[in-house]
């Protein structure tokens, strides 16, 4: 199921830089695709994922954070959907770990 909460520019970045793929899978709107990013971040960049959801009067908000034990740093992002939060956090972690 596709979501209105997607970011095609971020999808392109993830495909090219993190996943080393051609094309533009729907990482930011499909949880199965986002989970592939999580797997890559865990295996290649030795990151751990923490994923939380907060339900409140303003709706739900997902918080994803990748933690790098090597750098002792956490890279966190919030979004209305889990895939988008995961992908935003993955980009932040990747950029810092790879030096830009």
CB-based contacts of 85: which residues, under 8 Å, 6+ apart? 51, 62, 63, 64, 77, 78, 79
Express each pLDDT in 33-43 by its tens digit. 999 999 999 99
| pLDDT score at 29 | 96
Given a contact cutoff of 8 angstroms between Cβ atoms, the answer to whether 48 and 71 are in contact is no
- How much is the pTM? 0.91
pLDDT band at 97 (very low <50, low <70, confident <90, very high): very high
Residue percentage of the chain with pLDDT more than 90: 84
pLDDT surpassing 60 at residue 1:
no
Q: What is the mean pLDDT of residues 14-32?
A: 96
């Amino acid at each position: 199921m596709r979501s209105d909460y997607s970011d095609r520019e971020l999808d392109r970045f993830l495909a090219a830089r993190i996943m080393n793929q051609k094309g533009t899978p729907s990482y930011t709107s499909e949880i199965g695709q986002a989970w592939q990013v999580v797997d890559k971040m865990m295996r290649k960049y030795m990151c751990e994922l923490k994923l939380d959801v907060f339900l409140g009067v303003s709706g739900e908000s997902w918080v994803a954070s990748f933690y790098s034990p090597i750098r002792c740093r956490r890279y966190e992002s919030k979004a209305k959907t889990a895939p988008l939060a995961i992908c935003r956090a993955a980009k932040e972690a990747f950029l810092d770990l790879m030096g830009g």
